[in-house]
Amino acid sequence: MIKQSTVIFILILLSLVLMDCAATRSDINGLYTEQIKFTKKAPVKLLFDLYYYTRQTGFDAIPKFSRTSGISDFDDIFKESIKQISNIDDYETFINTSAHIDDIEKRRDRENKIENSDYVIKLEILQENSFSKHVLGSIFSIGSLDIIPIGYSWDYTMTATIFKKNEVQIGKYSRNARVTNWHQILLIVAYPFSPVEGKTEEVYLESLTDLFKQIENENILVN
């Protein structure tokens, strides 16, 4: 006869195996709503100074550097979004990490790129979640054998700060949105239509595209 503890253990394993999810997302906060007016501008050289951060509120005291953007197809999304800027003659990118604090060569490389650019766009991407909510969600999910829907949320904030070559700040814009991944056994049928990866990429693409659209329309990058 199978022991009760064995049955419970098997049910937990089945719950973890069958568990699936479906993601939802919020609208982008801070969207640019002004009417677009095209103005011809002289070509400029840009440096996109990239900073990726992660933070678990309630656990991390401050945002921490991340080596990755948070999505696998960031390069493609970035290249698509900068098409909003009409007068890019040439551009470079530099990804900042915590290791660069002690890396003289990396710091010099960044300084050279700044020197060779007409404008610098400091692009900060913050991925943030609640440590306590994620821990409690995991406890409830396992305790209910994944019958109760549990949502795990990530907040994404993208901030573009624009500097002229003389390091004078001439603009700053921000967008943010939330992606929630819902876990429950029955959501296994919904996952192919709402994967968290797809919802997150939508947030990145819409946020970056709108940021660069505002920069373009407000004629920030004019020599």
pLDDT given for residue 13 in this prediction = 47
pLDDT digits (tens, 9 = 90+) for 69-117: 889 899 999 999 999 999 999 999 999 988 777 788 999 999 999 999 9
pLDDT given for residue 149 in this prediction = 62
Instruction: Kindly indicate the confidence band of residue 4, based on its pLDDT and cuts at 50, 70 and 90.
Output: low
Exposed/middle/buried for 25, CB within 10 Å: 0-12, 13-18, 19+?
buried
Residue 170 pLDDT exceeds 50: yes
Q: How many angstroms separate the CA atoms of 177 and 203, rounded?
A: 7
DSSP per-residue codes, the chain: ---HHHHHHHHHHHHHHH-EEEEEEPPPBT---SPP-------EEEEEEEEEEEEEETT-SS-EE-SS-SSTTHHHHHHHHGGG-TTEEEEEEEEE-GGGGG-HHHHHHHHHHHHT-SEEEEEEEEEEEEHHHHHHHHHHHHHTTT-S-EEEEEEEEEEEEEEETT--EEEEEEEEEEEEEEEEGGGGGTGGGS-HHHHHHHHHHHHHHHHHHHHHHTT-S--
pLDDT given for residue 98 in this prediction = 84
- The residue among 223, 215, 218, 222 whose CA lies nearest residue 85 is 215
Residue 213 pLDDT exceeds 90: yes
**Is the full-model pTM beyond 0.85?**
no
> What are the sequence ranges of the domains in the chain?
20-30+39-217
pLDDT digits (tens, 9 = 90+) for 175-205: 999 998 876 555 554 445 458 888 999 999 9
Q: Are 54 and 115 in contact (CB under 8 A)?
A: no
Q: How many angstroms separate the CA atoms of 183 and 104, rounded?
A: 45
